[in-house]
Amino acid sequence: MADKRALVVGAGLGGISAACALAAAGWQVSLFEKNDKIGGKLNIAQEEGYTFDLGPSIVTMPAVFGAVFQRAGRDMKDYVTMTTVDPHWRCFFPDGAQLDLNADRSLAGNAKAHLTVDEDGQLDAFYRYAEGLYAFSNKVYFKKPSDTLQDVLLSYNPLKLNHDSDRASTMDDGVRRYIRNPYLAATMNFFAKYVGSSPYDAPAILNLLSYVQWEFGLWYVPGGLYGIAQGLRRLLDELGVDIYLNSEVTKIQTEQGRAAGVRLSDGRRFAADVVVSNMEFIPAYRDVLGEPVDRWQPLEEQFEPACSGLVLHLGVDTQYPQLAHHNFFFSRHPDKHFHSIFREGQLPTDPTIYLVAPGKSDPSLAPAGGEVIKVLPHIPHLGRGLHSDKEYRELRDILLDKLEAMGLTDLRQHIVTEMMWTPKNIEELYYSNRGAIYGVVSDRDKNLGFKGAKKSRYYDDLFFVGGSVNPGPGMPMAVLSGLQTADLILGQVGANPIGT
């Protein structure tokens, strides 16, 4: 096998996982990354004594990460430390209601949240439903590299498919079938965040996300999530993967209907048996394969990008004890919030805000007495709504006003250092399609939750990994896409453990 060579374009989690799995199987692998470090959106910055995770902050399904190390006969524990987070989420509502989702699947809330024993029962019934959705997906989607409904039907009884996947429903339909408490329903709907989609448009199958979080836990990496990338970097080095940083691939070269190599911006060329693109498939077809417009534009509707985000990274010189590690500050009208982003392409005027305060688990991220706060409302990708820097700055003010009004007193006065990332910054840094932060949107009508295919529809020996292809976005799924694609290349069904 040592004479087989793979070139991987992009060192995001999908690219890294594919590179590790192929190298562990004996291939010679070269990994090209346009930025100065590996990890892609899993990224880090340090400013004035504060450490910021620029991208992800929530780790679920740690076993998927562990599978990358297992492929190489290693134990992830020797490379990456993960600790559990509890409560999982703390939710603040504009009328003062407050609700915690705890790691043991209990709920805690103040009097305004009107939680009763009945709500526990509703959540339990919902959980069983979510477990069924997970069991379905695990069988046909996580453990198999399915890319279409036809692939799924090869391994699932068609008479049971609609029922077992709750195919006719949206996430919101599924949530409201079980949960009547409006605060709890809004909270469960917000799991759509994990795939950058709207619960009113995403297929109900994505209600499996809450099951996954409770069953396999919500995790943190002390020192910041970039520790995952550092652990993977060690593994790549041990496996002998050649890593080229600051090396942009400007051309995937094709000959006789197959991918034959890559050319870098400095003119260097590399030949390969297989090219794996962690660059999303639409930008790859458009920008580095130079395909005519009729080959990629029709894909834009079915595989519309997921949402983008306006990300504020704040280093503050105080601490807010009311915060948990992961917090949500809800909109007065969660449905309008989602519709403005996903249907109207507007910046939300009263956004639901995801706020991460990782200092609750890890005080080392900030100078004594201070903490790191990441503020992340979802906003439209650049294809849906082109907004000016002035509009993004106005949204920043709306966010800070809302957080101050909902209890983060004098937040502005306490900011020591601040970075603001707009969709344009995200597009430029990672070349994600239209500045999306979670690859392709999950939409029942457009794609039934399926993302792009892992094998190119136009060229042999060209494969895709990452958030734009199945099984989809979010760190664990991006990692799994890399493993599944490696399996396709190797012609094997790999062992890709999902749970615990």
Ligand X SMILES: Cc1cc2nc3c(=O)[nH]c(=O)nc-3n(C[C@H](O)[C@H](O)[C@H](O)COP(=O)(O)OP(=O)(O)OC[C@H]3O[C@@H](n4cnc5c(N)ncnc54)[C@H](O)[C@@H]3O)c2cc1C
Q: How far is the CB of 132 from ligand X (least distance, A)?
A: 23
Among 32, 183, 296, 328, binds ligand X (CB under 6 A): 32
Q: Does 463 bind ligand X (CB under 6 A)?
A: no
Residues 188-217 interacting with ligand X (rule: CB under 6 A): none
> CA gyration radius for the chain?
22
Q: Using the minimum distance from each CB to ligand X, give the nearer residue, 169 or 378.
A: 378
For ligand X, the closer CB: 113 or 312: 312
Verify binding: residue 279, ligand X, rule CB under 6 A.
yes
Question: Could you tell me if 193 and 378 are in contact, meaning their C-beta atoms sit under 8 angstroms apart?
Answer: yes
Residue 261 touching ligand X (CB under 6 A): no
Strands 326-329 and 353-356: antiparallel
User: Pseudo-torsion of CA 450, 451, 456, 461, nearest 10°?
Assistant: -100
Residue 475 binding ligand X, by CB under 6 A: yes
The angle subtended at Cα 421 by Cα 227 and Cα 88, nearest 5°, is 50
Task: Tell me which residue has tokens 């892992």.
Answer: 454
Residue 52 makes contact with ligand X by CB under 6 A:
no
Residue 54 CB, nearest approach to ligand X (Å):
7
# of chain residues touching ligand X (CB under 6 A) = 40
Are the CB atoms for 185 and 122 separated by under 8 Å? no
SS (H, E, C) 250-314: EEEEEECCEEEEEEECCCCEEECCEEEECCCHHHHHHHHCCCCHHHHHHHHHHCCECCEECEEEE
- In angstroms, give the least distance from the CB of 484 to ligand X: 12
Does position 432 bind ligand X by CB under 6 A? yes
**Which residue lies nearest ligand X, judged by its C-beta?**
12
- Tell me which residue has tokens 């590179």: 19
* Binding residue for ligand X, selected from 7, 10, 402, 486, defined by CB under 6 A: 10
Q: Contact between 325 and ligand X (CB under 6 A)?
A: no
Site string for ligand X, 210-249 (x = CB under 6 A): --------------------------------------xx
Asked if residue 40 binds ligand X (CB under 6 A), the reply is yes
Q: How far is CA 453 from the centre of its chain?
A: 18
- State which of positions 55-74 bind ligand X (CB under 6 A): 55-58
Least distance in angstroms from the C-beta of 243 to ligand X? 12
Q: Provide the angle, in degrees to the nearest 10, between the axes of the packed helices 226-238 and 13-24.
A: 30
| Backbone CA torsion sign across 33, 39, 42, 43 | negative
Please say which residue, 184 or 229, places its beta carbon nearer to ligand X. Answer: 229
422 binds ligand X (CB under 6 A): no
CA distance 37 to 11: 8
Footprint of ligand X on this chain (CB under 6 A)?
9-15, 32-35, 40-42, 55-58, 248-249, 278-279, 288, 309, 311, 376, 426, 430-432, 437-439, 465-467, 473-475, 478
